Amino acid sequence: MEDRTDNRAKILESAVHLFYQRGYDAVGVQEIALAAGVTKPTLYYYFKSKLGLLEAFLKEWCEPACIRLEEIAAAYQGVPSETLYALACTLVDIAKENREAYFLLLSLNYSARENEAFKAVFPYMRRMFRAMTGFFTGAGDKLGNMNGRQEQFVISFQGIINHYILVMDEREIPPEEFADPHAIWELVRQFMYGIYS
Amino acid sequence: MEDRTDNRAKILESAVHLFYQRGYDAVGVQEIALAAGVTKPTLYYYFKSKLGLLEAFLKEWCEPACIRLEEIAAAYQGVPSETLYALACTLVDIAKENREAYFLLLSLNYSARENEAFKAVFPYMRRMFRAMTGFFTGAGDKLGNMNGRQEQFVISFQGIINHYILVMDEREIPPEEFADPHAIWELVRQFMYGIYS
DNA sequence: CAAGGAGTATACCGATTGGTATACTAAAGA
DNA sequence: TCTTTAGTATACCAATCGGTATACTCCTTG
């Protein structure tokens, strides 16, 4: 019995791995089942479709990640740079804990808008965006007059962090290296104070 | 005769449009041919494979874009903020001129590493990266001691600009609006001097 | 006019796609 | 022991995939 429920996890794991490696559309369910050591109907028993497989991943992995970020943003207590640093560290931590899952998420976020995979991921990315927008709005008193520039800040901040993580991935830098606290602080510092220092 | 050579352009145009909308792997050659008003063998006559279609796009559209950026980076004459602004404006201009093509490029750049589409795009993205890295190295005297932080700057700068363009696309902001010189200057200013101002 | 090549369409290829009908096995509850 | 139920596999489906062999229609050149 225990190796049966284990099958579900193995399928999801194989799916994330293959989606990460070659892309959602480029991978067939057949291949996922094969990699998980099961047959296709078993896959369709747990996840009713290929998209259901992706949605299960989002609900079980991405959702908790969203919550972590929302909690940090909500816990803001008056030191913007610390919260920003905490947010950046958490993002990198999430990437470190399950590297493939995080890169899959980013890839999907940057993929074609009418793609069904993108549509499934978009709500989760918007949640993260809104959590941070809320933080910037709340931190307005400490960051000077932002008059509507909160969104621009979030765009930049997210852009910097995500692009950093993606470039680290491209170069196959191991997580323990790219998750270096000092490097992350440098990114945050640069974001806040500019490239002069 | 003229409508025959026109077919090639129509096929490429349709391909870019569909790849942009739904992703490289999600689109079949059949569909591209149909959208272009031709049949499959005609497509295979001009572009010998589906990947060849993508490679043609890269060579004919992405290559000139790379050259424009390289020229701007090479023309640097001592005012970093102006060159950075010029680079940002050029990127946004390129996106404005052929919006779908640029977003397709970004999507592919952020897609799975082992995907054949990503492998085709990667060299071009690296060219852009290197052009900018070169600029930051050359501008070292004006930007203070960067001791090896050039790459981090480029990562941030590219991240900000690309993420900005992608977010504008997600929100379906028309090019004439997101290409606003003042908004772009704000991004560059923020990059250089931080979010305090 | 004849020859040849560029460009296009009809019709096909084997392989794979996402997805399912059906029957089986194993375990648990009555 | 009998029944039920969750989980799994065999074997299949129509549709589509990327790609091509072949023949045709033009237009150009000799």
pLDDT digits 0-9 by tens, B27-75: 999 999 999 999 999 999 999 999 999 999 999 999 999 999 999 999 8
Do A95 and A6 fall into the same domain?
A: no
CATH number where B35 lies? 1.10.10.60
Number of domains, chain B: 2
The residue lying closest to nucleotide C16, measuring its CA against C1', is A28
| Alpha-carbon A82 to chain mean position | 21
Would residue B53 count as lying in a domain?
A: no
Task: Check CB contact under 8 Å for B144 and A23.
Answer: no
Do B42 and B112 fall into the same domain?
A: no
A111 contacts B107 by C-beta, under 8 angstroms: yes
| Alpha-carbon A161 to chain mean position | 11
A36 contacts A7 by C-beta, under 8 angstroms: yes
Would residue A6 count as lying in a domain?
A: yes
Would residue A54 count as lying in a domain?
A: no
Range of the domain at A18: 1-48
Residue with tokens 């379906």: B172
Do B69 and B38 fall into the same domain?
A: no
Confidence (pLDDT) at A2? 37
Do A167 and A141 fall into the same domain?
A: yes
Confidence (pLDDT) at B78? 77
Which chain B residues in 115-144 lie under 8 Å from chain A, judged by CB atoms? 115, 117-118, 122, 143-144
CATH number where A98 lies? 1.10.357.10
B194 touches strand D (CB under 7 A): no
Judged by a CB distance cut-off of 8 A, whether residue B25 touches chain A is yes
Confidence (pLDDT) at A3? 52
Confidence (pLDDT) at A1? 37
Structure-block tokens of residue B72: 């701007």
Query: Among A17-21, B4-8, B13-17, B139-143, where is mean pLDDT lowest?
Result: B139-143
Distances (CA, A) of B176 to A148, B170, B172, B173, B179: 20, 15, 12, 8, 5
Per-residue pLDDT of chain A (197 residues; tens, 9 = 90+): 335 558 899 999 999 999 999 999 999 999 999 999 999 999 999 999 999 999 999 999 999 999 999 999 998 887 888 999 999 999 999 999 999 999 999 999 989 989 999 999 999 999 998 988 888 888 766 766 666 678 888 888 988 999 899 888 888 899 888 899 999 998 898 888 876 65
> Cα angle vertex A82, ends A81, A86, to 5°?
115
Would residue B141 count as lying in a domain?
A: yes
Chain C footprint bases within 7 A of protein beta carbons: 6-12, 16-22, 27-28
Do A82 and A174 fall into the same domain?
A: yes
**pLDDT tens readout for residues B68-80:** 999 999 988 878 8
Would residue A55 count as lying in a domain?
A: no
**pLDDT tens readout for residues B87-145:** 999 999 999 999 999 999 999 998 999 999 999 999 999 999 898 888 888 876 676 66
Size of interface A-B (CB pairs under 8 A): 143
Indicate the helix (H) or strand (E) that contains A187: helix A181-193
